[in-house]
Amino acid sequence: MNIHEHQAKALLKALGVDVLEGRVAFKPEEAEKAYGELGTPVVVVKSQIHAGGRGKGKAVEPGKLDPKKYDSKTGNYSGPGVASDKGVVLCKSAAEAKSAAGKLLGNVLVTKQTGAAGKKVQRVYVEAGCPPEKEFYVSVLLDRGVGLPVMMVSPAGGMDIEDVAEKSPEKILRVHFDPADGLWPHQARRAAFFLGLTGDAFKSGVKLLGNLAKAYVKLDCSLLEINPLALSKDRVFCMDAKLSFDDNALYRHPEVEELRDLAEEDPKEVESRKFDLNYIALDGQIGCLVNGAGLAMATMDVIKLYGKMPANFLDVGGSANKERVTAGFKIILSDPNVKAILVNIFGGIMSCRVIAEGVIAAAKEVNLKVPLVVRLEGNASKEGKEVLKASGLAVTTADGLADAAEKVCAAVK
Amino acid sequence: MAILVDSATRVICQGITGSAGATHTRGCYAYGTRMVGGVTPGKGGTFFEIEAAPTGGGYDGKGPIKEAKLPIFNTVAEAVKATDANATMIFVPPPFAADAIMEAAEAGIRLVICVTEGIPVVDMTKVKRALQRYPKVRLVGPNCPGLITPEACKIGIMPGYIHKAGDIGILSRSGTLTYEAVWQVTQAGFGQSSCVGIGGDPVKGTDFIDVLELFERDPETKGVVMIGEIGGSAEEEAAAWIKKNMSKPVAAFIAGRTAPPGRRMGHAGAIVSGKSGTAESKVEALRAAGIAVCDSPAEIGATLLKAMKRL
């Protein structure tokens, strides 16, 4: 799960991490008011969306957005309707803040990370201006190979860390730590020295790095990224903040779950969570309903091998029943791109007959109009196929994965 | 024996009175696994009853099914003392699963299979560190279907009947996709020595290389199927290990070539982060190591059988 920058900063601030003063604004007038409250001569109005590259992004009027004018390599948009040529704007007066917020709010921000469709800006963060003397990079994430969190720091702030890792790996320091211990002071010192901090800035940096490691563990993050971390007059603080959370641990963080912004998520994915289904929207034409995550991925792959693209990932889980299959069908069909559906079930413990009955009931309930290919294998698969046949529904049954993929792809012109 | 378990393995279930624990304790018992007891704190002294003529969910054993009364204990230590259990199958809910793993390790159980899905990553990093104090304990999982030595011992949630005793080792990060591969091998007329689901989480007890090493040493295993997926770099590391150490033919499939970056595809560990963990990188590494990688999941079984010159 992801949250907005301003939410991440509020969480970090509560854990002793230095961030700048700021206000959230949903309307231009609120941004205007925020300028007065913050009291600094310069403020920064920042678009809040769940994607990076905002500074170089362009805010485009939704009706005028031409996806063909988006260069997916550079992330640059060169089409019509540009209201603001940056997603993060420096403002020197209340009027400027109001005007900048007006150009961002309600428009679609297109960045390197959003793809051609962009993301609608529904709120901005107005932050006190504090020009940095230096910018650094710091992140904490899981090192899967070692099975421990690792803090990565680099003096190359504000850049794409993967580019830094590729071109100048010597500019990155990795410090592993045990979540039970947090970052030891000597580790925090090593990282602060690596960033070239001295004097009071060094002390401030050591404290901040230690607190970031603590925050990562305490909040059950899957990623904590501060890019850039900034230095200004002996003060080290977060200019940006990105937090992603371990979904498995959300049960013990209701305060984080409350920060979920449903407007940032695909409505189909929001709906699927209600039924405990694992659904991810993709942009192909073939809807898939599968049991098991690995098999669901493999089903998507085999569809591509036969020349089409999957419209979604959907794992109905091990306890698929009529209700879950029906919910899955409804979610798949709410995507207008879906031209055919492939149901691929390997009935282990679960009976294929039960699945077949669920599929029939679901198809009737949703008044299915697109071609449906069903592949049932395993427990009671023969009975399952007979049930499908006897139903009178226009269902194509398939034997094996390859046959299923071939049939469903052929059903779509 | 094949690897890790055989018909002499004595198994308890932690979380035996929960619905999944109960179902699969019955399923494993029916398959012929020597289930010797269970643990549910607070229910010690009672019994878990298995009826003589079971029907429905979980029963897929071929052997004669006797009725049984498995003793339930409050702690794993008591269970081990009373039953001499040497393996455990964990179905404890996610918030308590890390603790259950450590309880088993401390009680001296050498083989800990954690089926539970949804354990927070931080908990698993702590478990991994804590397990370093128990070098003889092997943890398989979490978030895994378990493991099976066909016709001898099944510890986990996989359907027993799709397996057949044989000489092909199968290891995988996925559940149903493993069944797919097992089924393809069985349908082709061959069988499995052992099948190990290592689980779909980013931090886990046993990784590909650990199992590959066991298969390489096992005289009953003649060929190996490895099923990987996007996320992490365990497949790349396995590829390098196979190239250096493995004398037996290996076939592989990697799921998730069509998965978009930055999205968790069901399994907590199945995610492409930036440029790392892509299917392409894994396939490339495996092919460079001389491993037969199939593009289609429908060809997993055939690819190995061809590599073993049986097709």
Residue holding tokens 């593009």?
B295
B299 to chain A: nearest residue by CA? A402
Nearest beta carbon to residue B265 from set A313, A347, A349: A313
DSSP A171-194: G-EEEE--TTT---HHHHHHHHHH
The fourth-level CATH superfamily of domain B164-310 is Succinyl-CoA synthetase domains (3.40.50.261)
pLDDT at position B61: 47
- Put simply, whether B173 touches A (Cβ < 8 Å) is yes
Structure tokens of B219?
Answer: 């005289």
What b/e sequence results for B267-298 when a residue is b if at least 16 CB atoms lie within 10 Å of its CB, and e otherwise?
bbbbbbbeebbbbebbbebbeebebbbbebbb
Backbone angles phi, psi at A373, to 5 degrees: -115, 130
In which band, very low, low, confident or very high, does the pLDDT at B63 lie, cut at 50, 70 and 90?
very low
Dmax (CA) for chain B in angstroms is 56
DSSP A193-239: HHTT--HHHHHHHHHHHHHHHHHHHHTTEEEEEEEEEEEETTEEEES
Which residues, at least 6 apart from B284, have a Cβ–Cβ distance to it below 8 Å?
none
pLDDT at position B275: 78
Considering only residues 381 to 410 of chain A, which have any Cβ-Cβ distance to chain B shorter than 8 Å?
400-402, 405
In which band, very low, low, confident or very high, does the pLDDT at B226 lie, cut at 50, 70 and 90?
very high
Domains along the sequence of chain A with CATH: 21-128 (3.30.1490.20), 134-256 (3.30.470.20), 267-412 (3.40.50.261)
Q: How far, in whole angstroms, is CA A276 from its chain's centroid?
A: 19
End-to-end CA distance of chain B: 26
- Put simply, whether A278 touches B (Cβ < 8 Å) is yes
Q: Is the distance from CB of B111 to CB of B138 less than 8 angstroms?
A: yes
Share of chain B above pLDDT 70, in %: 95
**Contact criterion met (CB < 8 Å) for A144 and B234:** yes
pLDDT at position B85: 97
pTM, entire model:
0.92
CA-closest candidate to residue B238, choices B222, B220, B259, B216: B216
pLDDT tens, position by position, A187-221: 999 999 999 999 999 999 999 999 999 999 999 99
- CATH of the structural domain B10-140, one choice from 3.40.50.720, 3.30.56.10, 3.40.50.2000, 3.50.50.60: 3.40.50.720
Beta bridge pairs of residue A30:
none
The CA distance from A75 to B81, in Å, is 64
Return the number of other C-beta atoms located less than 10 Å from residue A343's C-beta. Answer: 34
Domain boundaries, chain B: 10-140, 164-310
pLDDT at position A163: 87
- Mean pLDDT computed over A95-119: 95
Residues of chain B with Cβ-Cβ distance to A378 below 8 Å are 159, 162, 179, 183
pLDDT tens, position by position, A35-62: 999 999 999 999 999 998 999 999 999 9
Same fold, B10-140 and B164-310: yes
pLDDT at position A162: 84
